[in-house]
Chain A
Amino acid sequence: MTAGPLETIVALASGRPPVAVAVVRISGPRAFAILTALTARTLPPPRQLHLRRLRDPASGEALDDALVVRFAAPASATGDDSVELHLHGGVAVVEGVIDAVIGLGARLAEAGEFTRRAFDNGKLDLDRVEGLADLIDAGTAAQRSQALALAGGALGQVTEALRSRVLTLLANAEAALDFAEDEADVALNLAQGQGAVCRALAVEIEALLQDAKRGARVRDGLVIALVGLPNVGKSSLANALSRRDASIVTPLAGTTRDLIEVALDLGGVAAVLVDTAGLRESDDPVEQEGVRRARARAASADLVIHIADGPVTTPLGWLVINKIDVGVAVPDGAVGVSALTGAGVPELRARLETWAAGVVRPGEPALVSRSRHREALIAAMAGLTDAGASDDPVLRAEGLRAAATALGRITGRIGVEDVLGEIFGRFCVGK
């Protein structure tokens, strides 16, 4: 029996971020095409590490500077064309890269799938497979506990509601197909109007996906706003934290007229430090606009760092006192730094890393499963869109079945017995 074309699969091959280096592995017929698309360059020779800038071709957004290597079939671990991407091991970086790879036509690997491919291609001897089950079992146990945690949360409730609505739609569709006409008390018009319901559900999932995306701090980075009066050293501190000269630092008050965003890696968690214009009233319309934006950004930031070089009555967030090198006093609870000498900056960084880890909780295995959920929701949306677009009840059922299968990856399988159970529970079926 001839096997058809394989799908291309992707997964994080190293430990969970944050780690120093994360390895993402891609295997299957599209692996090299995906590498070409990510790097926008010709392929490197096989089995050699090359430094490449990775971009998401969909958005043009830079993802990471990575070491990439490819292995041509059959000389690879799986026996298929394979690519390894050695990334900076931040949560946002890894997730962004995996998303981009999925966008280029791969799908997330199932538990044990790389090994299974290797086995299929005769790359593994049987002894080496023996130990695999335990590994996967550990993985699935973690997934189970996570699925349980998820089920208790908001996403769990939403997906559970989705599952039951798709099941109802599928049962309606299948009842109309399997028990049509004279075989049951199934109304002939049962399937009518269901196309619109499918489309509406697809739109709901789309909204959910967009919400999930907006909420995905992990992907976009945590936002930290630096606020304070002019010339207290906001830009200098931003530079000290990021160790590069992104802001123009001059002794003149009001130099930073626009927002300057600086990317920070806080122990593997991506963050964006927003260096705002000094909060002072000004006649300069450009500076006024900068101030307005600074206030807006501070309002939506995950954290506000209020910088001062003297006493502050009402701090807008964390209070950081600059210029300790010239003897400015640091009140209780505030952090004292010198942007100029670098004194206190490591302590501030450490505090920020602790805070970031608390917000994102990178130790929890949400990373891949989130991609998995998003992928499942996208597939469910596609199935429902198909179902909504077809007048043929069989094709509609086909789309619904695809949607049910996809949702099943989050909420548990919707098997034919579930559908039949729903049908027999609701309709008087049978002569």
Chain B
Amino acid sequence: MERYSAAFASANSSTWNIGAGWGKPVDMESFDVIVVGAGHAGCEAAAVAARIGARTALVTLDIGDAGTLSCNPAIGGIGKGHLVREVDALGGLMGRVADQARLQARLLNRSKGPAVHGPRAQVDRRRYRRAMADALAGQERLTIIHAAVESLLVSGERVYGVVAQGRRLEARAVVLTTGTFLGGVMHSGDQREPGGRRGAPAANALARALREAGLPIARLKTGTPPRLDGRTIDWAAVEWQAGDADDPQLGSGGTSALPPIPCGITRTTAATHAVIRANLDRSALYGGHISSIGPRYCPSIEDKIVRFGDREGHQIFLEPEGYDDATIYPNGLSTSLPVEVQAEFVATIPGLEQARITQPGYAIEYDHVDPRALTPDLAVTALPGLFLAGQINGTTGYEEAAAQGLMAGWNAANLALQRAPAVLDRATAYIGVMIDDLVTQGVSEPYRMFTSRAEYRLRLRADNADIRLTPIGIAAGLIAADQAARFEAMRAQRARTSTLLHELRASPATLAAAGIEARQDGVVRSAYEWLRFPAVTVDVARGLWPQLAAEPAEIVESLAVDARYASYVDRQADDVAHMRRDEALQIADTLAFGTVAGLSAEMAERLTAARPATLGAAARIPGVTPAALAALLPHIRRAA
């Protein structure tokens, strides 16, 4: 504790505590944890740190912008929905805030296997921000500070705070969640202006400070479409897509009582493609103004025409931005073309002939840190006390940001409160898959979650996120009492339903008599075992055993999925055990790979860049050979 005392001695100016009423001065200037930025990563980081018990400051330009959805007005999706459920299962905010702000919700991939079902909600931007601000305001121990952070306070190699517009704010741990604000530059055609988002300034001083601190920094780009005035769209000319009737939830709190509203669907035409082709050289992307790499799975409309121009048309989703907002987000029209070209091509799309652009689309380039510079708890290896989360780590997406924010905030609090770091492994959570990918592989384009990245996908489902993670959250003090109580009640019910499913039995003859195709092997099986057979759906099971009707539907469904995947999950048990054995073998973070006997220069270089924390992580670094791993053996120690 001694080493912190000097840092804490200089507190003298004032801050504002949101819990005590906005704008009211509070005489406190040092914290356990400071979170910089109130985007999706920052909000989760600040909330979780405060929830665990750390005195936390959230430093942002404007708390009214907390949880701003800079891109599309939707939360969740395939892979992303898994992350949101996991964040919720660990007590995070995103899922319940999205539920409160939802315009409509769907369960994507419903026709596919349950492991890849992904809940997604269209959300009301304004309500989302408000619900997020409310959630933060209700959080004890959390102070909001309105300021721009310009630099880090570093003593020796250790970060002990930030400088925000001349004020020194000190803390035992700092979490940076700068999004696209770090050295952000927006492009429309050959127009470029600095900024982190339309109408918000870039964080250039901080970008310089990080470069000066020696962090490995690279640039990425992403883009956003023009926004349209919904009152100028010919809605009769477009298709409709409603939410699902069962209104799936992303979080474990309540959902909005407002009626769901649909989205529109239209398509680009040959005329659209012609306009874009004719103006390609004026695009910031193709005119040579942007050289950094954007996400392949979120291409601009220019990219789509250049690479897939032979398609008859590309789908455009017309997503409402709110109940009391006429703005429409045309998902699929991300562009860096000049404003007048945007107007020209928008007018070629059915339903949008008269549409008015309220805000032009743009591409944005920003700085990010090579995430291989991080340890698996999202701490910067070279600068103890500093944690990074969100787009600064090379990811894209609200959900990816929120999940990292949660982990970074949790670990910042762990550091401040002198607790052990929290790391989720690849067989426990998508969150673990993502962070492991980031810190061992680095990024070559903005990283997005896909279910195909999760090799233990059958275990990691959206429907069992709470079973997997909430006990961990409860043990770590992440879960509020009401959520913990709900979870325990659910788990008790799940155990009862599971017992019932194992007790109810039937012979193949019984199934045949009920008209169900079953292998006539004479083996009497439990309901749980029968649910393994594709012909025995949950509905069929309810027909066979009427007692099941009294059990909660989502619990029966979730157990049925367990039954269905059980043999596959068992088969994977060896792989998981193998992975966990290797994860238990830790490589000291002080090890100089260049000095390890038997390591080639090439291997030492790869290992130095990624700084694997465990032998397992080292094995996942592309190109690292078994010989290199063997050479590391003398330098590892077993986790306690």
Interface residues of A (CB under 8 A from B): 1-7, 110-112, 115-116, 119-120, 126-127, 129-134, 136-137, 139-140, 174, 176-183, 185, 391-395, 397-398, 401, 415-416, 419-420, 424, 428-431
Contact = CB atoms under 8 A, between A and B. Distances in A.
Given A394-B113, A395-B113, A182 B315 contact: yes
Interface residues of B, number: 62
B241 A182 contact: yes
B626 A140 contact: yes
A111 B112 contact: no
Given A177-B112, A416-B453, 20 more contacts: A3-B577, A4-B574, A5-B573, A115-B633, A133-B597, A133-B630, A134-B598, A139-B627, A178-B78, A178-B450, A178-B452, A181-B109, A185-B314, A393-B113, A394-B458, A416-B450, A430-B295, A430-B297, A430-B298, A431-B298
A132 B314 contact: no
Contacts of B21: none
Contact of B78 (A137, A177, A401): A177
A132 B631 CA distance: 7
Interface in B555-606: 564-565, 568, 573-574, 576-578, 580-581, 583-584, 597-599
Interface of A is mostly: helix
B400 to A, nearest CB: 14
Specify which of B564, B598, B622, B630 lies most central, judged by the most chain A CB atoms within 10 Å of its CB. B630
In the A-B complex, list the 9 residue pairs whose CB atoms are closest, starting with the nearest: A4-B577, A394-B113, A133-B598, A133-B631, A137-B627, A428-B308, A126-B634, A111-B626, A424-B296
B452 A420 contact: yes
Contacts of B598: 130-134, 137
Given A177-B109, A178-B452, A180-B112, A391 B631 contact: no
Interface of B: 72, 77-79, 108-109, 111-116, 241, 265, 295-299, 304, 307-308, 311, 314-315, 317, 331-332, 450-453, 455, 457-458, 534, 564-565, 568, 573-574, 576-578, 580-581, 583-584, 597-599, 622, 625-631, 633-634, 639
12 contacts: A1-B639, A2-B577, A132-B630, A133-B599, A134-B598, A140-B627, A174-B452, A178-B451, A392-B113, A394-B457, A398-B458, A420-B450
Contact of B626 (A1, A112, A176, A178): A112
A129 B633 contact: yes
A183 B317 CA distance: 10
Contact of B630 (A7, A115, A420): A115
B627 A112 contact: yes
A136 B630 contact: yes
A431 B113 contact: no
A106 B3 CA distance: 55
Contact of A3 (B116, B241, B581, B631): B581
A115 B632 CA distance: 13
Contacts of B634: 126-127, 129-130
A185 B311 contact: yes
A316 to B, nearest CB: 50
Contacts of B298: 430-431
B580 A1 contact: yes
A134 B631 CA distance: 8
A255 to B, nearest CB: 57
Given A5-B574, A182-B317, A176 B79 contact: no
Contacts of A394: 112-116, 457-458
B112 A183 contact: no
A5 B450 CA distance: 30
B452 A177 contact: yes
Contacts of B111: 180
Contacts of A391: 534
A248 to B, nearest CB: 54
A139 B78 CA distance: 43
Contacts of A428: 299, 304, 307-308, 311, 314
A120 to B, nearest CB: 7
B328 to A, nearest CB: 14
Contacts of A2: 577
Nearest to B622: A415
Contacts of A119: 633
